[in-house]
Structure 1
Amino acid sequence: MTDMLRAPAEVKYADELDWLESIDTGPKPFSWRLSPRMVRLFVLGSERADGLDRPVAQKWFGDRSFVERSIVTLASDRGLLLIGDPGTGKSWLAELLAAAISRNSTLVVQGTAGTTEDHIKYSWNVSMVIAKGQSPDSLIPSPIMTAMQRGVIGRFEELTRTTSDVQDALISILSEKYVSIPELKDDSINTVFAQPGFSIIATANSRDRGVNDLSSALKRRFNFVRIPVVTNKKSEAEIVRFRTVELLRRHEIELDVPPTLLDILLQSFADLRTAAASATSDDEKLESSLSTAEQIGVLEDAILHSQFFGDRSLRADTLARSLVGSLARRSPEDLAILNKYWHGTVEKRSKQEAGEWEGFLSGGREAIATLS
């Protein structure tokens, strides 16, 4: 792990997965490495009632029913589509599920406007084709085809960012469970059949609605699980703390995040979400989705700034400058919204509650003035 900037879940939690596999006595569908109950336990963490010899940390924070429905879907012959706003943990949940079920979460296709059918089926090694012609040796399988051959989970990120031609190529894979290779003439090798255990976890951004909508035929091949934005402050605080601990460990930083500053961060995002919900036009909303992931990004920015350019202690004014710098993406629209929030809400709180809110007020004002 020390040689990886970001280790995949199956590497990061390899010891835990090995242990869970060694004590797992439950029935396992197909080629699954863990039973459905153990997959859920790996993702959501253990409880005292589980009676385990060692605790299992919670890795994804959300409703238990979302995880259970996802696991049940993957145990069937249908694909799983995780849909929700940016920053709701769709990709992280997909990675954890693939790691627990297949011990491989890296068979991923990243959907973009430039994604082609080759990215989900196969392509060719041009130099080998020129030298020896088209053969199984010159074939380059896509991550999805590799998942089919191995009987494991393949992942497709940002499905609605891809064109309809690419999406249509998934229909036959999800329904027929094979890929034809007409360039290979031998009937024994020109079709790749999916092995038991193969499935696809796709993610889609609900804010991309209208970009490349899914066809009704493709929708029927997926079970939808909608992941809502976390609005419960307790759950959101747990997520931010969990990710912050990982961040500090990765950067080898010894720092305690003051609970009062974490409360200010959570309250600020809650206030800005409320303002966005009551806005009557897009110009009155921040371009940011104000997701939990963006909160973590703001906190990471503030921690690293304090570490490299401060006295290595997190302060309210630094947090405020990081928040403004991260959320002010449009000028003058976003700056005007943040300026209104600072003068209408933060200033009021600094007078009523004082403490860290005063430093947060001054740091935010300074940042807004610098960007204006």
Structure 2
Amino acid sequence: MSDMLRAPAETKYADELDYLESVDSGPKPSTWRLSPKMIRTFVLGSEPSDGLERETAQKWFGERSVVERAIVTLASDRGLLLLGDPGTGKSWLAELLAAAVCRNSTQVVQGTAGTTEDHIKYSWNVSMVIAKGQSRASMIPSPIMTAMETGTIGRFEELTRSTSDVQDALISILSEKYVSVPELKGEDGTVFAKPGFAVIATANSRDRGVNDLSSALKRRFNFVQIPVVTDKRSEAEIVRFRTEELLRRHQIELDVPPTLLDVLLRSFEDLRAVATAAGSDDERLESALSTAEQIGVLEDAILHSNFFGERALTAHALGSSLVASLSRRAPEDTSILTKYLANTVHQRSEQEGGEWPQFLAAGLETLKALA
């Protein structure tokens, strides 16, 4: 893991997965490494009633019913589509599920406007084709085809960002469970999926209308909606969990005071309320104000404090990071943040004191520099 900037879940939690597999006696689909109940434990963490000798930490913070429905879908013949707003943990949940089911979460296709049918089926090694002709040896399988051949899980990120032609290519894979290779003859002309093959796709609910899914493709997927985290306690746990990962990865010894975490959470809560009440896009920040963006703001403040500050997180670093991270449009975003600081934060500074005055001063300084 020391040679990886970011280890996949099956590597990062290998010891934990080994332990859960060794004590797992529950019923499971034929090729799965863990039973559905144990996968739920791996994702959501263990409880005393589970009777495990070793505690399993919670890795994804959300409703248990969401995780259970996703697991049940993977045990069926349908694809799993995780749908939700940016920053709700869709990709992280998909990675955890793939790691628990088959110990391989890296067979991923990233959906973009440039994604082609080759990215989900196959392409050719041109030099080998010239030298020896087309054969299975000269074929370059896509991550999805590799998942089919190995009976594991293939992932498709941002499905609605890919074109309709690419989306339609998934229909036969999800329904027929094979890929035809017209260039090859006989047995090599068809690649069949082995037991255990499944597809987990993600889609941003704010991208509706970019490349809407066809009715035929929708029928091949079971939609699981990932709700936005609205509970302040749960959101604090997510931010704290991700921040601790960041500190370990960068080998930084720096504490995040609870008072500063509260300032961050309340600031995002305020700005979300402003966005909800806004009558037009010009009156709301371009940022989605997701939990992931909170983590990004805190990460920026921590790194700045560690490398350029006093090696201690301060309200000044947090206020500067928040304004700099969320000011994406001029003058719309800067105007919204100026009003927020001048009204809400200024009022809190006078009434509550604490970290708010320093947070306010840093925010105003950063806005002045951006002007």
Distance 2:299 2:247 in 1: 9
Distance 1:154 1:26 in 2: 24
Match of 2:163 in 1: 163
After superposition, give the CA deviation of every residue in 1:273-307 in whole Å (9 maximum; x if it has no partner): 01100100000110100000000000000000000
Distance 2:365 2:65 in 1: 44
Q: Alpha-carbon deviation of 1:188?
A: 1.3
After superposition, give the CA deviation of every residue in 1:5-63 in whole Å (9 maximum; x if it has no partner): 00000000000001111111111103100000000000000011111101000000000
SS in 1 for 2:202: strand
Q: Is residue 46 of structure 2 the alignment partner of residue 55 of structure 1?
A: no
SS in 2 for 1:115: coil
Q: Is residue 335 of structure 2 the alignment partner of residue 336 of structure 1?
A: yes
Question: Could you tell me which amino acid in structure 1 is paired with residue 345 of structure 2?
Answer: V
What aligned pairs does 1:295-334 form with structure 2 within 5 A after superposition? 295-334=294-333
Match of 1:197 in 2: 196
Match of 2:211 in 1: 212
Match of 1:46 in 2: 46
SS in 1 for 2:236: helix
| Normalised TM-score (structure 1) | 0.99
Match of 1:122 in 2: 122
SS in 1 for 2:275: helix
Distance 2:30 2:179 in 1: 20
Distance 2:83 2:343 in 1: 35
Distance 1:270 1:336 in 2: 18
After superposition, give the CA deviation of every residue in 1:137-175 in whole Å (9 maximum; x if it has no partner): 000000000000111110000000000000000000000
Q: Which 5+ residue runs of structure 2 have no aligned equivalent?
A: none
What aligned pairs does 1:124-203 form with structure 2 within 5 A after superposition? 124-185=124-185, 187-203=186-202
Q: Alpha-carbon deviation of 1:189?
A: 1.4
Question: Could you tell me which amino acid in structure 2 is paired with residue 158 of structure 1?
Answer: E
After superposition, give the CA deviation of every residue in 1:90-124 in whole Å (9 maximum; x if it has no partner): 00000000000010000000000000000000000
Distance 2:187 2:143 in 1: 22
Distance 1:143 1:193 in 2: 14
Match of 2:255 in 1: 256
Question: Could you tell me which amino acid in structure 1 is paired with residue 18 of structure 2?
Answer: D
SS in 1 for 2:109: strand
Distance 1:136 1:355 in 2: 67
Distance 2:279 2:51 in 1: 52
Distance 1:253 1:315 in 2: 15
Match of 2:361 in 1: 362
SS in 2 for 1:136: coil
Distance 1:233 1:75 in 2: 33
Q: Alpha-carbon deviation of 1:231?
A: 1.2
Q: Is residue 30 of structure 2 the alignment partner of residue 21 of structure 1?
A: no
Match of 1:73 in 2: 73
Distance 2:142 2:212 in 1: 23
SS in 2 for 1:137: coil
Distance 1:351 1:227 in 2: 38
After superposition, give the CA deviation of every residue in 1:46-91 in whole Å (9 maximum; x if it has no partner): 0111111010000000000000000000000000000111111000
After superposition, give the CA deviation of every residue in 1:259-282 in whole Å (9 maximum; x if it has no partner): 000000000000000110010000
After superposition, give the CA deviation of every residue in 1:176-232 in whole Å (9 maximum; x if it has no partner): 0000001002x2111011111100000001111111000011000000011111111
Identity of aligned residues (%): 78
Q: Which runs of 4+ in 1 moved over 6 A?
A: none
Q: Which 5+ residue runs of structure 1 have no aligned equivalent?
A: none
Aligned residues: 371
Distance 2:31 2:182 in 1: 29
Distance 1:34 1:222 in 2: 23
Distance 1:223 1:278 in 2: 33
Q: Is residue 111 of structure 2 the alignment partner of residue 111 of structure 1?
A: yes
Question: Could you tell me which amino acid in structure 2 is paired with residue 222 of structure 1?
Answer: F
The alignment's C-alpha RMSD in Å is 0.5
Question: Could you tell me which amino acid in structure 2 is paired with residue 214 of structure 1?
Answer: L
SS in 2 for 1:188: helix
Question: Could you tell me which amino acid in structure 2 is paired with residue 106 of structure 1?
Answer: T
Distance 2:295 2:354 in 1: 23
